[in-house]
């Protein structure tokens, strides 16, 4: 749950035809811990005095935030040895490691972005960490093209299945 | 035309959960709570007086039960009114709930729409004030029965975007008529706009023709912009540069703000452009 404090002023002007209202001042104060992914969005809302967009986008942001938390938690519980949450339960990224392949790491960063129009959408990226020797052996440049391939995989399988397949593929080395 | 700061409209909202569903429940809950509390307190006025006396023994002021209740009611009314500014609010009806969607564009409060829901299985829309060109049936078919929160927020998105586009077009027509060389053509959904304009209204140059298409109905910025210039010297770099920069501007900033920047530039017109 996101907590914040909000102060705003509305100016209502009554002319003979109608009443028009406009927000003339908007201040949004958020806890620094929840702030990091939202800070740019909050400043933009304040600048534009867009009170309504703030609430609307915040709702969608929180939906995505909770979904990300649930998804990561699910994988952490399913594969406790392989999956690590670097920054705790609300971490925006997970690290996938395999005990049998100590030098290899896959980091999936899942950012929740809010664009100029207030639209909220996820942006996932794959980062790889491999030993130097492995890079040298990688003739097909699989590691280099991994981030791009991950994007394609996301498009085909969706977030959950894509993550599951990555975790499984790294763990497969253990058995085979 | 005097501007007045409406009394009591400066509010500090603390720790509001942003989820509309919870907001709605809370708003409705508060309404029910206040009714219950009012009845309880009216039934036992002696207890009300006694409890106030116990809590603040040093308080010499004796508020009548009437005043206490009135204050509580005012408080609840204020909270309910404040929910209006989240864009989504509601009130109980005999059949269910009437949800009010308030729209705004960049802080300018615009039209409101309502959806009257009947609490039945299946959940039903009794009546509404949503314009016919907003895909209400589609959104309802997708979400109404399974996720009412998503239904409301999705509808909010469409209505706010429509309101915002309409606002931009209205502002263009009212504030920048001097720069338009013909009528602004628009469809009811305000997602297809076509107009011609000049940066120097009195000058000899040909007008620019602009066509703005907003394919994404939940957006207030266009997805496709075409600006053409039909003048004889259309191929000259200065006109081409202007044309291209206008196209970019229309994609990036609200329509009336782009014209505001044109109007500002017009005050210092570069004579070298007019050859």
At B126-182, the pLDDT tens digits run 999 999 999 999 999 999 988 888 899 899 999 999 999 999 999 999 999 999 999
| Conformational region of residue A56, where left means phi above 0, alpha means psi within -120 to 50, and beta covers everything else | alpha
The residues of A whose Cβ lies within 8 A of any Cβ of B are: 1-15, 20-24, 26, 48-53, 55-56, 58-60, 62, 116-117, 119
Which whole-number Å values give the CA distances from A116 to A19, A35, B250, B258, in the listed order? 29, 18, 14, 16
Question: B46: pLDDT confidence band, cut at 50, 70 and 90?
Answer: very low
Instruction: State the complex-level ipTM.
Output: 0.71
Mean pLDDT, range A37-42, rounded to an integer: 87
Is A50 within 8 Å of B106 when comparing Cβ atoms? yes
Which whole-number Å values give the CA distances from B80 to A21, B17, B39, B69, in the listed order? 18, 14, 20, 16
Rounded mean pLDDT of chain A?
85
Question: B206: pLDDT confidence band, cut at 50, 70 and 90?
Answer: confident
The partner residue sitting opposite A6, judged by closest CB among B13, B102, B109, is B13
At B177-196, the pLDDT tens digits run 999 999 999 999 999 999 99
**Which among A51, A53, A55, A115 is the top mutation candidate for probing chain B, defined by the most B β-carbons within 10 Å of its own β-carbon?**
A55
At A6-36, the pLDDT tens digits run 888 888 888 777 778 888 889 988 876 666 7
Q: Select the CATH number that applies to the domain covering A4-173 from these four: 3.40.50, 3.30.390, 2.60.40, 1.10.287.
A: 3.40.50
At B15-25, the pLDDT tens digits run 333 344 444 44
Is B108 within 8 Å of A11 when comparing Cβ atoms? no
Per-residue pLDDT at A35:
62
Is A3 within 8 Å of B108 when comparing Cβ atoms? no
The structure tokens 């706009």 sit at: B193
Domain segments of chain B as ranges: 165-271
Per-residue pLDDT at B199:
87
Structure tokens at B189: 């959904």
> What is the DSSP track for B42-72?
HH-HHHHHHHHHHH-TT------HHHHHHHH
> What is the DSSP track for A88-100?
-TT-SEEEEEETT
Among B residues 23-82, those touching chain A with beta carbons less than 8 Å apart: none
Per-residue pLDDT at B62:
59
Is B202 or B198 the better-scoring residue by pLDDT?
B198
């Amino acid at each position: 749950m996101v907590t914040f404090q909000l102060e705003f002023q509305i100016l209502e002007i009554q002319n003979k035809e109608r009443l028009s209202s406009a927000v003339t001042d908007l201040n949004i104060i958020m806890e620094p811990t929840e702030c990091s992914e939202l800070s740019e969005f909050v400043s933009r809302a304040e600048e534009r005095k867009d009170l309504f967009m703030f609430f609307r986008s915040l709702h969608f942001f929180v939906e995505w935030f909770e979904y990300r938390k649930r998804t990561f938690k699910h994988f952490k519980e399913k594969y406790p040895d392989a999956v690590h949450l670097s920054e705790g339960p609300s971490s925006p990224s997970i690290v996938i490691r395999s005990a049998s392949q100590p030098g290899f790491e896959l980091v999936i960063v899942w950012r929740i972005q809010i664009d100029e129009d207030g639209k909220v959408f996820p942006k996932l990226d794959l980062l790889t960490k491999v030993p130097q020797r492995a890079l040298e052996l990688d003739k097909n440049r699989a590691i280099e093209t991994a981030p791009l391939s991950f994007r394609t995989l996301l498009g085909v399988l969706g977030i959950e299945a894509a993550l599951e397949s990555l975790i499984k593929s790294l763990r497969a080395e253990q058995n085979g | 035309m005097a501007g007045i700061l409406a009394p009591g409209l400066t509010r500090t909202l603390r720790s509001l959960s942003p989820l509309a569903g919870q907001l709605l429940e809370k708003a409705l809950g508060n309404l029910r709570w206040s009714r219950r509390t009012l009845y309880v307190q009216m039934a036992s006025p002696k207890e009300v007086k006694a409890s106030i006396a116990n809590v603040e023994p040093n308080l010499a002021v004796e508020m009548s039960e009437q005043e206490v209740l009135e204050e509580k009611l005012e408080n609840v009314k204020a909270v309910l009114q404040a929910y209006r500014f989240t864009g989504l609010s509601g009130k109980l009806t005999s059949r269910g709930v009437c949800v009010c969607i308030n729209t705004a564009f960049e802080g300018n409060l615009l039209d409101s729409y309502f959806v009257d829901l009947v609490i039945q299985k299946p959940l039903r829309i009794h009546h509404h004030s949503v314009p016919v060109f907003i895909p209400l049936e589609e959104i309802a078919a997708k979400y109404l029965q399974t996720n009412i929160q998503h239904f409301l927020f999705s509808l909010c998105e469409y209505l706010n975007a429509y309101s915002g586009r309409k606002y931009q077009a209205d502002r263009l027509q009212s504030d920048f008529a001097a720069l338009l060389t013909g009528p602004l053509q628009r469809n009811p959904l305000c997602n297809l706009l076509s107009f011609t304009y000049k940066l120097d209204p009195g000058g000899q140059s040909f007008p620019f023709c602009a066509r703005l298409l907003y394919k994404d109905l939940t957006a207030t910025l266009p997805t496709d912009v075409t600006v053409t210039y039909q003048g004889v010297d259309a191929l000259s770099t200065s006109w081409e540069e202007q044309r291209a920069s206008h196209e970019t501007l229309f994609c990036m900033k609200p329509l009336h703000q782009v014209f505001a920047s044109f109007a500002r530039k017009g005050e210092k017109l570069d004579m070298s452009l007019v050859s």
